[in-house]
Amino acid sequence: MVDKKPCILVLHGPNLNLLGRREPEIYGTFTLEDINGQLKERADELGLGIDFIQTNYEGKMIESIQESDGRYDCIILNAAAFTHYSIAVRDAIAAVSTPVIEVHLSNIYKREEFRHYSVISSVVCGQISGFGTDSYLLALEGAARMIHRGN
């Protein structure tokens, strides 16, 4: 019998494909490819498989979450603007058994007031924000620990 390597889905939301040129004073100059490369390298070190999806479409994000059940051991989700208003994304997270870690590059609580509220926070395992690219790496470390603990 071959043991299946635990696998993480990193799901990037709207406008994150523009990292590196979008508001560098807030998000920095790194690109989405830079983030994915760092995550892939660390996942390999941790013995984890990792897949990446970036979408600007709410329906694609919802479908990706729904399809995660049984395929992934954890989702690292930067829902971007959907964080603040998408009840549909929130309901998709609540409907699956795959644990989800919410990630934000910037500290959403130090930004515009409308960004201070996350409609998904009540259905995720935890939230990491404000550490730039390290937010994703911290989430990956947390996911690895959850998987190895069995929860």
Domain coordinates in residue numbering, the chain: 7-149
* Catalytic machinery residues: 27, 104
Long-range CB contacts (within 8 A, 24+) of 23-29? 26/105, 26/106, 26/111, 27/105, 27/106, 27/132, 28/105, 28/132, 28/133
- pLDDT per residue rounded down to tens, the chain (151 residues): 456 899 999 999 999 999 888 777 776 778 999 999 999 999 999 999 999 999 999 999 999 999 999 999 999 999 999 999 999 999 999 999 999 999 999 888 877 787 677 999 999 999 999 999 999 999 999 999 999 887 6
Which residue(s) pair with 128 in the sheet?
A: 103
- For the sheet containing 7-12, what is the strand order? 49-54, 7-12, 74-78, 100-104, 126-129
Q: Which CATH class is domain 7-149?
A: alpha beta
